[in-house]
């Protein structure tokens, strides 16, 4: 239920969705995990070809704007795709685009 609420609040579109939430009251920190279903297809950001298969993933963390005055971090397995025209490269996630209100990837 809460995962669906945050998926809507972040305006995530298929195949992305919030799958896990942790809140630390003492730290005033909210951590949201974003993931995708196994077998999901992605668009190549180079040539815009749709339906590219995932190749592998790497874990990334972004600092999001605060939710209700709580520091908020987004965690995600970001896939690389294998585009028949352009080769293998990492997917560009929609919440990390320019002027999206998110910061650059942040690592602990």
| Neighbouring C-beta atoms of residue 81, cutoff 10 Å | 23
Q: Phi and psi for 51 in degrees, rounded to 5? A: 85, 25
Give the pLDDT confidence of 29-69 residue by residue, as tens digits: 999 999 999 899 999 888 988 899 888 999 999 999 898 89
pLDDT (mean) for 57-83: 93
How does DSSP classify residue 79? E
């Amino acid at each position: 239920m809460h995962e669906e609420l945050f998926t809507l609040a972040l305006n995530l579109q298929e195949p992305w969705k919030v799958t896990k939430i942790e809140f630390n009251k003492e730290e005033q920190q909210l951590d949201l995990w974003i993931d995708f279903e196994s077998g999901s297809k992605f668009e190549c950001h180079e040539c815009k070809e749709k339906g590219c298969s995932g190749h592998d993933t790497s874990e990334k963390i972004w600092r999001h704007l605060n939710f209700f005055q709580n520091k908020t971090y987004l965690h995600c397995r970001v896939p690389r795709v294998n585009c028949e025209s352009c080769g293998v490269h990492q997917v560009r996630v929609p919440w990390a685009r320019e002027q999206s209100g998110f910061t650059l990837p942040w690592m602990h």
